[in-house]
Amino acid sequence: MKYLLFCCLFIGLFSTGQGQPARVKLDVKSDCIVNHEEKRYELKAGDTWDVVLEGMPCYGEVFRVNFHDYYFFLCPGECLEIVLKENKRVEVKDDGSLCAERNLFLHEMAGFQQEFYYAKAVPELVSESVRDLTLDGVCDTLHARLERYLGMHPGEAKDFGKVVRTELKYYRMYEACGACGGRRTFYEFPGEVLQQLAEVIPDSKDKRVICSPTYWKVLKVYTDYLRVEDPRRLLGPGRQMYENEVRLAKYYAAKEIRERLVYENFLDVLYWVKPYERESVEKCIRRLPSRYAEFIRKNLDKQDVSRAKRKWVMPGCVVELSGEDVNGEEVRLSSFRGSWIFLDVWATWCGPCNSEIPYLKKMEEKLRGKNIVFVSLSVDKTADREKWKNLLREKKMEGVQLRWNGRAKGVHEMLGITGIPHFAIVDPEGVLRWNNLPFVSSGLIYRILREVGDK
């Protein structure tokens, strides 16, 4: 009986510990912008910002402060105090706790990684000894430091040790495989690299890996690949864009990983959700944790209010557009009847438009041979005609290249454009089937075109 009571007491204490929230307190000495969990906060000098973390056996949190990322690790029941100094630097307040010691150790590790980054990017800013650092050398040093820390604190091995070992595994992978910077949709990784990236799937059985920032970066890279290739055929028709973002998460095992992935995927496409699509989105997010679902709903509500006077051009209308080609000849969309048309409205001065060009070229290449005509319609002014032609040559842009030679307002009204790039799909009869689609880099347009191009 005493043994049973002891077991019950132990289990109760363990469960209580797991359920205790952790807290991060930020003492603000200088005005700053903080991003955490996709939310943005503008804090003023003198503010104290308190973040409560709940629901996990441990917490690996990234705070972006003044555009610099800081990683902290907490166990349930812990409180970490960090100070944003007048010089804009973030420091961990050393209160003698194990939590503070752990995070000072992480800060030291991050500083070493940053030195390696500078050695590659701007070698003139670092000492000669740092310039000679290699990825293998950096990873070996980080592993040695971790083992030394765990030797001093063996109780940290279970959660913190597991997470940091995961972090170091994926840090090496992320740096070595060319996955850094931007989305890797349509990127053709070598077979052995793809095999390495695929390790995010078996590793997703342990929900603690969600606490590793670089594991999450690699997971997002591999998810871009899965969205395009879908090797297990878990996704539905391309037209079911939002439903497919939920199905995509089924590649991963832990519920917490699936939920966070669906949440972040929907944040990526939030801008393109039209009021008449809200019901479809609601069906997809209703099973998410309330903090995720409510944040998405709140942002969609604000978006709908801001667009209340916007005129939506619904699919189903016939599109009659024309533009001049590089030789000054008028070309009408109607001349491509019988083929599907992917329409990209853009301009040379538009940063996001230019960022999408590599993805557009790669998508054209993957869909070559299908019954699809790629039409890029520039809204550059007549005075910028030569600039437009020069950029086409510089970027080696293929497909049908046209420049709208009417008033910009005209094409904007025809397609309900409020910003560029603007993507739409027109069927072989000239009827608008999809309008105001997410960026090509998301991979969502590719899935639609791959299917309709065979019809």
- How far apart are the C-alpha atoms of 142 and 315, rounded to whole Å? 55
pLDDT of residue 3: 37
pLDDT band of 19, cuts 50, 70, 90: low
Question: With 60 as the cut, is the pLDDT of residue 17 above it?
Answer: no
Domain with CATH 3.40.30.10 in the chain: 322-452
Taking only the tens place, the pLDDT of each residue in 45-76 is 999 989 999 888 899 999 998 888 999 999 99
Edge-to-edge strands, sheet with 79-84: 48-53, 22-28, 79-84, 90-92
Confidence of residue 446 (pLDDT cuts 50, 70, 90): very high
Beta-carbon-side half-sphere exposure of residue 306 (alpha carbons within 13 Å): 9
Q: What is the pLDDT of residue 121?
A: 80
Tokens (6 digits) for 346: 């853009």
Q: Residue 323: helix, strand or coil by DSSP?
A: strand
Q: Which residues contact 244 (CB under 8 A, 6 or more apart)?
A: 227, 235, 236, 238, 444, 447
Give 282's contacts (C-beta < 8 A, 6+ positions apart). 297
Helix (H, G, I), strand (E, B) or coil at 375: strand
**pLDDT confidence band for 181 (50 / 70 / 90):** low
Query: How open is the CA angle 146-137-148, to the nearest 5 degrees?
Result: 20
CATH architecture type of domain 322-452: 3-Layer(aba) Sandwich (3.40)
Mean pLDDT of 442-455: 91
Residue 6 has pLDDT above 60, yes or no: no
**pLDDT of amino acid 9:** 30
* Assigned token pair, 411: 């094409």
- CB of 185 within 8 A of CB of 228? yes
| pLDDT at res. 411 | 84
Angle at 39 between CA 37 and CA 44, to 5 degrees: 120
* pLDDT score for 12: 35
Of 233, 163, 239, the closest CA to residue 203 belongs to: 163
Please state the rounded mean pLDDT for residues 256-270: 96
How confident is the model over 308-329, as a mean pLDDT? 90
Does the structure show a pLDDT above 70 at 219? yes
pLDDT one-digit tens code per residue, 117-135:
888 888 877 777 778 888 9
- The predicted structure's pLDDT at residue 277: 93
| Token pair of 421 as six digits | 């790039």
pLDDT beyond 80 at 142 = yes
Mean pLDDT of the chain: 90
Give me the pLDDT at residue 183, please.
81
Q: Which residues contact 61 (CB under 8 A, 6 or more apart)?
A: 24, 36, 51, 53, 71, 72, 73, 74
Report how far apart, in Å, the C-alpha atoms of 255 and of each of 123, 181, 206, 223 are.
43, 27, 10, 16
Nearest to 373 by CA among 435, 316, 427, 434: 427
β pairing state of 22-28 and 48-53: antiparallel
Q: Is residue 234 scored above 90 in pLDDT?
A: yes
Using an 8 Å Cβ cutoff, are 156 and 149 in contact? yes
- What is the CB neighbour count within 10 angstroms for residue 191? 8
Confidence of residue 413 (pLDDT cuts 50, 70, 90): confident
Q: How far apart are CA 146 and CA 150, in angstroms?
A: 6
Q: What is the pLDDT of residues 80-98, one digit of tens each?
A: 999 988 877 899 999 999 9
Q: 11 falls in which pLDDT band (50, 70, 90)?
A: very low
Dump pLDDT digits (tens) for 332-351: 999 999 999 999 999 999 99
Tokens 């519920």 found at: 255
**pLDDT of the residue at 262:** 97
Average confidence (pLDDT) over 188-202: 93
pLDDT bucket at 410, cuts 50 / 70 / 90 = confident
Given a cut of 70, is residue 146 above it in pLDDT?
A: yes
Question: Among all chains, which residue has been given the structure tokens 């083929």?
Answer: 339
For 76-89, b/e burial (b = at least 16 CB within 10 A) is bebebbbebeeeee
Tell whether the model's pLDDT for residue 37 goes beyond 70: yes
Residue 8 has pLDDT above 60, yes or no: no
Most confident segment among 177-181, 213-217, 410-414:
213-217
Q: What is the mean pLDDT of residues 358-370?
A: 95
Residue 201, both tokens: 């799937």
Over residues 202-209, mean pLDDT: 97
